[in-house]
Amino acid sequence: MRRPGFNCGSGGRPIACLTPGDIEVLQRYWWGVALLMATASPLHAEERDYCPTRPGLGITPCTIAPKHVSVEVALTDWTLDNQPDRRTDALLGGDTAVRIGLTDSVEAQFGWTPYAHVRTRDKASQSVATAKGVGDATIGFKANLLHPDGAGLSIAVQPFVTIPVARVPLGAGNWGGGIIAPVTFDVTKALNLAATTEVDAAVDGDGMGRHIAYSEIAGLDIKIARTLSATFEAEVLRDEDPAGKTTQALASGSLAWRAKDTLQFDAGAVAGLNRAAPDVELYVGVSQRF
């Protein structure tokens, strides 16, 4: 549930165009983000190591220091879901998360996918359905309860709401939300254990109601060198959609390279471990603190 608002669905349903009202909302949103980024001043903020949420399946409990802004972008993200009756390829471009430090332990969060392309091929009829456009947006905040710099034992809670600015199958088609609870623990200076628990009020497949979905992620982060780290994770995700309940098992590996103190590049892969899970996901991204 790294992107709660993105829903590949089963394909075949057309995407509708954004209304002028949707466009106006998005314009105001990004102008607001740009204004906050322009006014953020690192000179007066608490000095703290940069802790991007990227890469990987889970999230970090550390928060951005006050008056700092973190912009984290998936430059390219491709997912293949090859089921017995269909094959779905989903490509995201510029999937963006903006984190704004409000206090020593609280940050505001905004997320949006400016481009998504979903191609679904029905294996029985060989028909192909495609959809492209924007994805859903998310807003929320993260409140750290212990060690906001992520040192030692760090714990946080992160509630969020998904805004249905996209249309099915590029979005969920309705409002959703949830809460995430990440925990990390430094075993040594080079070894970090992580766990992320998430519970969602996920949108039903028909877009008419909501149901519970929940997941647990366990991870191990290894600092290979001063500027290079590797993360290995496993996830179990249960979705109680009335149209069909599923349990997905996933494994992930990723690398992060710190080009400088405020700039990170990453790449990763996710593999499905059972039939219900997508087969593979590949991505590359970048994170910058201002």
* pLDDT reading at 85 higher than 70: yes
Specify the pLDDT at position 28: 52
Domain annotation covers residue 168 = yes
Domain annotation covers residue 120 = yes
Specify the pLDDT at position 31: 52
Nearest in space to 287 (alpha carbons), one of 150, 77, 95, 29: 95
Domain annotation covers residue 6 = no
CATH number at 152 reads 2.40.160.40
CA–CA dist 207, 83 (Å, integer): 22
Domain annotation covers residue 178 = yes
Q: How confident is the model at residue 283 (pLDDT cuts 50, 70, 90)?
A: very high
Specify the pLDDT at position 206: 82
pLDDT single digits (tens) 205-237: 888 889 999 999 999 999 999 999 999 999 999
Domain annotation covers residue 8 = no
Which residue range(s) make up the domain with 260? 20-289
Euclidean distance between the first and the last CA atom of the chain, given in angstroms as a whole number = 27
Domain annotation covers residue 2 = no
> In Å, how far are 93, 150, 258 from 286, measured between CA atoms?
12, 20, 10
Count of the separate structural domains present in the chain = 1
Domain annotation covers residue 4 = no
Specify the pLDDT at position 166: 80
pLDDT single digits (tens) 15-69: 333 344 444 544 454 455 445 444 444 434 457 899 999 999 999 999 999 999 9
* pLDDT reading at 122 higher than 80: yes
Domain annotation covers residue 255 = yes
Question: Mean pLDDT over all residues of the chain?
Answer: 86
**Residues 213 and 239: beta-carbon distance below 8 Å:** yes
